[in-house]
C-alpha cells in the first residue's frame, strides 16, 4: 500500500484524478470501477475539469459502479444511478452504453449479481477501482461480517451505515435497508485500487484498513493483501496512522 497524505479534501480529489487520468491516457479503453458518497465528488469534479480544459477523453472508457440501493430506480434522486449522472457522467463524454451500475430494481438479486459479474468479466475485468470507505471500514457496501463476501450480492446495511447515510435523506426512515454491492473478490480482482478518505470521522476506519488485522470485521483491511493500492487521505483521516507508515506527503500550491 502506498499512503499519500494531502492537506485537504480538494487536494485528495486532485491526486486521485491524476491517477485516473493517467490510467486513461495510457489505456483509452480503460475499465474503471467507481464509487459514490461525498468522498469521490472532488475527484469527479477535477476529472470533469480536465476533460473540459485539456480534453481528457472518456469515449472509450467503461465504468462499473460498486453498488446501488435496493428498491431505487435510476430516476430516483437518492439512487446511485442518479448521483453518478449528476456528479460525473453528464459532465464528460462517456457513452451511456458504457456505464454499468447494479440494478437495484432487479426482481432476483442473485441473478442480478451474476449478471453484473459476467459483464465485468466480459469487459476484461476492472483496470482501476476507486473506493471510499465507511466509518465502519466498509468498502462498496461490504459491511463488517464474519466472512468476506466474494461476488456481487445483496447486503443488509449496518445501523452505523444507515445512520451515516441518513444525511442524504429527509429522515433516517427513508434510508434503504438493503443494497446490492460488488463483493470483496470483485474489488480485489481489480488491477489497481485507489482508496480515498477525508475527515476525522474516517480516521479509525483508515487505521483499520492500513494497519489493522486483516479481518472481515474491517472489510477494507483486505486491501493490505492487494498488490497495488494507493491510499489517498487528508490529514484528518490520516490522524491515527503511525509515523512509520506515513508515505508521501503532498502539498500543492495554487
Task: Give me the residues that bind ligand GLP (CB under 6 A), please.
Answer: 35-39, 66-67, 132-134, 140-141, 161, 165
67 is catalytic: yes
Rounded Cα distance, 228 and 162, in Å: 30
Catalytic option among 117, 143, 191, 234: 143
Residue from 66, 72, 65 nearest 169 by CA: 72
CB 142 within 8 A of CB 113: no
User: In the numeric block, which cell numbers belong to residue 105?
Assistant: 430494481
> What is the smallest separation between the CB atom of 218 and ligand GLP, expressed in angstroms?
14
Three-class DSSP labels, 110-151 = HHHHHHHHHHHHHCCCCCEEEECCCCCCCECCECCCCCCCCC
Catalytic option among 51, 81, 138, 153: 138
> What is the smallest separation between the CB atom of 77 and ligand GLP, expressed in angstroms?
16
Cβ proximity to ligand GLP, 36 vs 63, nearer residue: 36
Cβ proximity to ligand GLP, 13 vs 98, nearer residue: 13
Burial 88-125 (b: 16+ CB within 10 A, else e): bbebbebeeebbbbbbbbbeebeebbeebbeebeebee
Helix, strand, or coil here: 194? strand
Rounded Cα distance, 186 and 181, in Å: 10
CB 133 within 8 A of CB 204: no
Catalytic option among 136, 153, 165, 192: 136
> What is the smallest separation between the CB atom of 93 and ligand GLP, expressed in angstroms?
25
217 is catalytic: no
Cβ proximity to ligand GLP, 13 vs 134, nearer residue: 134
Cβ proximity to ligand GLP, 36 vs 186, nearer residue: 36
Residue in this structure with the C-alpha cell 472518456, named with its chain if needed: 58
138 is catalytic: yes
> What is the smallest separation between the CB atom of 78 and ligand GLP, expressed in angstroms?
12
> What is the smallest separation between the CB atom of 237 and ligand GLP, expressed in angstroms?
10
143 is catalytic: yes
Cβ proximity to ligand GLP, 62 vs 161, nearer residue: 161
- Positions marked catalytic: 67, 136, 138, 143
Amino acid at each position: 500500500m502506498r499512503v499519500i497524505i494531502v492537506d485537504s479534501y480538494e487536494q485528495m480529489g486532485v491526486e486521485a484524478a491524476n491517477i485516473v487520468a493517467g490510467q486513461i491516457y495510457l489505456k483509452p479503453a480503460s475499465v474503471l470501477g467507481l464509487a459514490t458518497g461525498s468522498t469521490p465528488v472532488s475527484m469527479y469534479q477535477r476529472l470533469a475539469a480536465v476533460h473540459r480544459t485539456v480534453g481528457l477523453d472518456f469515449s472509450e472508457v467503461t465504468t462499473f459502479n460498486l453498488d446501488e440501493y435496493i428498491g431505487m430506480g435510476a430516476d430516483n434522486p437518492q439512487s446511485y444511478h442518479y448521483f453518478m449522472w449528476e456528479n460525473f457522467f453528464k459532465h464528460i463524454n462517456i457513452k451511456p452504453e458504457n456505464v454499468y451500475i447494479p440494478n437495484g430494481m432487479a426482481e432476483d438479486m442473485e441473478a442480478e449479481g451474476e449478471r453484473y459479474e459476467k459483464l465485468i468479466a466480459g469487459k476484461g475485468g476492472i483496470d482501476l477501482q476507486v473506493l471510499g470507505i465507511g466509518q465502519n471500514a466498509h468498502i462498496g457496501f461490504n459491511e463488517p461480517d464474519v466472512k468476506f463476501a466474494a461476488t456481487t450480492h445483496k447486503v443488509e446495511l449496518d445501523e452505523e451505515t444507515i445512520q451515516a447515510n441518513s444525511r442524504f435523506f429527509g429522515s433516517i426512515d427513508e434510508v434503504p435497508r438493503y443494497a446490492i454491492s460488488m463483493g470483496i473478490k470483485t474489488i480485489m480482482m481489480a488491477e489497481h485500487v485507489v482508496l480515498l478518505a477525508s475527515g476525522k470521522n474516517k480516521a479509525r476506519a483508515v487505521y483499520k484498513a492500513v494497519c489493522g488485522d486483516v479481518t472481515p470485521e474491517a472489510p477494507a483491511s483486505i486491501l493490505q493483501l492487494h498488490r497495488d493500492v494507493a491510499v489517498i487521505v487528508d490529514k484528518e483521516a490520516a490522524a491515527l496512522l503511525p509515523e512509520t507508515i506515513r508515505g508521501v506527503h503532498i502539498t500543492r500550491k495554487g
